[in-house]
């Protein structure tokens, strides 16, 4: 039996679908009972579990042999760093005495210690916690999500501009979340000795200009990249609904990622979804 966290999202959902397609038994953990029916129809079992409740997490983990771990993203209207550190601590606590034989965890490029630098520091805490406990743990560091750009789709349609905090020619490792899910499923099925930190990105690296060009091709109109100066980043995040604490953390995370050149590895695992294909599919789905 495989436990899957985050199955209501693209990554966890792809993990679960991939395992079910292989004929494996899957237990979906969700806080939302409305999603239970769809997963049961696919052949999965479902448990209503909250990452804020380590006892419920441990109870679910004890039903399985292996688990996919994904720290739930906190609502950006609050203090994301505080909430995500707490849920990571809960996940690590729940692993104690769970009896799992292996876990696979989703992390991020550039994970590192630091003070309020968003996912970079919170997911580093998850990585460090997993290395200190006894269950064999495989860690997949994912590149910048291609789907992050889709939130600007309406603006691109209206104005022909693509907002970016990165210069238009910045070469970035990007990945489709579905490719991250497939990579995680493969590691769940691999030997318990497969415990290294591995990096996962798409078939090639892209720039914000490539993103704009992909939108232009899909929409049949010109699209230009509109770069926000660094001193405006916190304001941009707050205008998008982020709390001051979350805006500060995400702006710092963006700066660290850019200044450290995105922690580019030499030999990442590569997904198969091209950026242009993902954006074209999203544009078609919106029509």
Q: How far is CA 283 from CA 110, 179, 190, in A?
A: 30, 19, 36
Across the chain, mean pLDDT equals 95
Q: Do 223 and 160 form a contact (C-beta atoms < 8 A)?
A: yes
Mean pLDDT of 199-223: 97
State yes or no: pLDDT of 4 exceeds 80.
yes
Mean pLDDT of 239-249: 94
The 10s digit of each residue's pLDDT in 79-93 is: 999 999 999 999 999
Residue 151 has what pLDDT?
Answer: 92
CA 225 – CA 172 distance, rounded (Å): 15
Mean pLDDT of 179-198: 97
- Structural domain boundaries of the chain? 2-144+175-201
Q: How many CB atoms lie within 10 A of CB 248?
A: 19
Residue 254 has what pLDDT?
Answer: 97
CA 252 – CA 188 distance, rounded (Å): 33
State yes or no: pLDDT of 194 exceeds 80.
yes
DSSP string, 17-85: HHHHHTT--EEEEES-GGGHHHHHHHT-EEEE--TT-HHHHHHHHTT-SEEEE-PPPPPTTS-HHHHHH
CA 250 – CA 191 distance, rounded (Å): 36
Residue 152 has what pLDDT?
Answer: 93
State yes or no: pLDDT of 98 exceeds 80.
yes
State yes or no: pLDDT of 35 exceeds 90.
no
Q: What's the CATH code, domain 2-144+175-201?
A: 3.40.50.720
Sign for the CA dihedral angle at 100, 106, 111, 116 comes to: negative
Residue 253 has, within 13 A of its CA and on its CB side, a CA count of 24
Please give the model's pTM, rounded to 2 decimal places. 0.95
Nearest alpha-carbon partner for 67 in 127, 27, 14: 27
- Reported as a pLDDT band with limits 50, 70 and 90, residue 32 is confident
Residue 33 has what pLDDT?
Answer: 73
Cβ neighbourhood burial of 162 (10 Å; 0-12, 13-18, 19+) = buried
CA 193 – CA 176 distance, rounded (Å): 27
- Reported as a pLDDT band with limits 50, 70 and 90, residue 277 is very high
Q: Cβ contacts of residue 81 below 8 Å, gap of 6+?
A: 116, 118, 121, 122, 245, 246, 249
Q: What whole-number percentage of the chain has pLDDT above 70?
A: 100
Mean pLDDT of 208-220: 97
Q: How many CB atoms lie within 10 A of CB 177?
A: 22
Cβ neighbourhood burial of 41 (10 Å; 0-12, 13-18, 19+) = exposed
Residue 31 has what pLDDT?
Answer: 85
Mean pLDDT of 131-151: 97
- Reported as a pLDDT band with limits 50, 70 and 90, residue 142 is very high
Mean pLDDT of 90-103: 96
């Amino acid at each position: 039996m495989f436990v899957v966290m985050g199955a209501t999202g693209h990554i966890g959902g792809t993990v679960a679908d991939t395992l079910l397609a292989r004929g494996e038994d899957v237990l979906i953990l969700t806080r939302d009972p409305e999603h239970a029916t769809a997963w049961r129809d696919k052949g999965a079992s479902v448990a209503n579990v909250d990452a804020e409740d380590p006892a419920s997490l441990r109870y679910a983990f004890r039903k399985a042999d292996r688990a996919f771990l994904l720290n739930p993203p906190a609502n950006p209207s609050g203090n994301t760093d505080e909430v995500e550190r707490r849920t990571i601590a809960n996940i690590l606590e729940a692993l104690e005495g769970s009896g799992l034989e292996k876990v696979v965890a989703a992390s991020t490029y550039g994970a590192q210690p630091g003070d309020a630098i968003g996912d970079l520091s919170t997911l580093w805490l998850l990585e460090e916690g997993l290395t200190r406990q006894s269950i064999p743990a495989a860690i997949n560091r994912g590149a910048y999500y291609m789907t992050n750009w889709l939130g600007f789709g309406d603006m691109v349609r209206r104005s022909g501009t693509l907002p970016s905090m990165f210069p238009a020619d910045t070469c970035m490792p990007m990945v489709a979340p579905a490719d991250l899910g497939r990579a995680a499923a493969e590691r769940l099925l691999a030997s318990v000795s497969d415990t290294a930190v591995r990096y996962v990105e798409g078939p090639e690296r892209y720039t914000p200009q490539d993103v704009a060009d992909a939108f232009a091709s899909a929409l049949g109109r010109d699209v230009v990249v509109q770069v926000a100066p660094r001193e405006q980043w916190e304001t941009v995040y707050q205008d998008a609904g982020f709390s001051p604490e979350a805006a500060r953390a995400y702006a710092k995370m963006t700066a660290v990622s850019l200044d450290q050149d995105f922690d580019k590895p030499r030999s990442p695992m590569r997904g198969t979804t091209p950026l242009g294909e993902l954006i074209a599919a999203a544009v078609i789905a919106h029509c």
